[in-house]
Amino acid sequence: MSRIGRSINHVWRVFATGLVFVLFGLGALFISLTIFPLLRLSTLHADVARRRIQRGMQRTFRVYIELMRMLGIMTYELHGVERLREPGRLIVANHPTLIDVVMLVSLIPEVDCIVKRGLWRNPFLRWPVIWASYIPNSEGEELIERCAATLQRGHSLLVFPEGTRTVPGRPIRMQRGAAHIALAADADILPVTIDCDPPTLFKGNPWYRVPERPFHMKVTVGDPVSSSRFRREGEASTRAARRLTQWLLAYYGASEGEHSNQDQQRANSAASAAPIAPAVS
């Protein structure tokens, strides 16, 4: 592309990105006031409504992704995403960008999500999140219990173990919540890896600072892993949660450069405890 062509393309992508943000906000408002209430009224059964609304979320997010692709902001490729349809699994993913959740929800027919609890006070969005049975990000134990309960009912649940978007250049940090949830529900974990190149909409990057070329998102779904393989006979589950979290960190390639010495040592000892570490390649 010529220099002029590049700068026109750049201006276009700034405009298109802004447009998508506006459409996202207006669309959420419109759908929350029309389609979702109709879906809720379409049945007397709250659980049927939950499924219909979750499917509505999937289709809505699908539209946003296709819109971004057609506007020339992004391209994407998907690997193994049919595995996301298996219900009852804890789907975990790394979190490089703001649109990871849009991408993943667009690929999963029915999935529970953990959503900012502030939305339960939002006059427009509180009903959709209630009808969809999304889970508010409450405090520790209560959140773990709710998440484990939904998995035990056979629903899929999407969790970002980092708890927030990754700051580029810094090592991945993980909370142990995802491990606690998987162990409490005795659920299988389905790890998803998201690559975004060039990085965009990462933590601390304003939306108008678009990358030098359209970004390419690659979603790779790994093999499911049973949480029970991290348990050991006669041992506290707190230890299993640590082992599982170390496995996740290693899976997402962050076993080196931990945020503290202590974790570094733990990562090393987890890596040497080969029998529990499934091959990651």
197 binds other proteins (CB under 8 A): no
User: Which residue lies nearer to other proteins by CB, 193 or 237?
Assistant: 237
Spatial distance between the Cα atoms of 77 and 174, rounded to a whole number of angstroms? 26
DSSP state of 195: E
Contacts of 234 (CB under 8 A, 6+ apart): none
- CB nearer to other proteins: pick between 162 and 263: 263
Query: Measured from the CB of residue 175, what is the shortest distance to other proteins in angstroms?
Result: 7
Q: Which stretch binds other proteins (CB under 8 A): 38-46, 146-154, 164-172, 256-264?
A: 256-264
* Cβ closest to other proteins, residue 175 vs residue 220: 175
Minimum separation from the CB atom of position 184 to other proteins (A): 9
Cβ contacts of residue 182 below 8 Å, gap of 6+?
Answer: 90, 188, 189, 227, 244
Shortest gap between Cβ of 235 and other proteins (angstroms)?
9
What are the helix (H) ranges across the chain? 3-33, 35-41, 46-70, 100-107, 126-131, 140-152, 177-185, 237-251, 261-272
- Stretch near other proteins under the rule CB under 8 A, chosen from 28-36, 65-73, 186-194, 259-267: 259-267
Question: Does residue 233 belong to the site contacting other proteins (CB under 8 A)?
Answer: no
Least distance from other proteins to the Cβ atom of residue 254, Å: 16
**Contact string (CB under 8 A) for other proteins, positions 139-158, x = contact:** xxx--x--------------
State yes or no: residue 176 binds other proteins (CB under 8 A): yes
Q: Is 263 in the site for other proteins (CB under 8 A)?
A: yes
Tell me which of 71, 83, 119, 175 binds other proteins, using CB under 8 A.
Answer: 175
Give which of 103, 95, 59, 78 is closest to 221, Cα–Cα: 78
Contact between 74 and 215 under an 8 Å Cβ cutoff? The reply is yes
Cα gap 156→137, rounded to integer Å = 17
Of these, 9, 193, 220, 237, which contacts other proteins (CB under 8 A)? 237
Q: What is the CA radius of gyration of the chain?
A: 20
CA 136 to chain centre: 15
232 is a site residue for other proteins (CB under 8 A): no
Sequence-separated (6 or more) residues with CB below 8 Å from residue 118: none
Residue 118: closest CA among 134, 102, 94:
134
Can residue 260 be called a binding residue for other proteins (CB under 8 A)? yes
Binding site for other proteins (CB under 8 A): 139-141, 144, 175-177, 180, 236-239, 241-242, 260, 262-263, 266
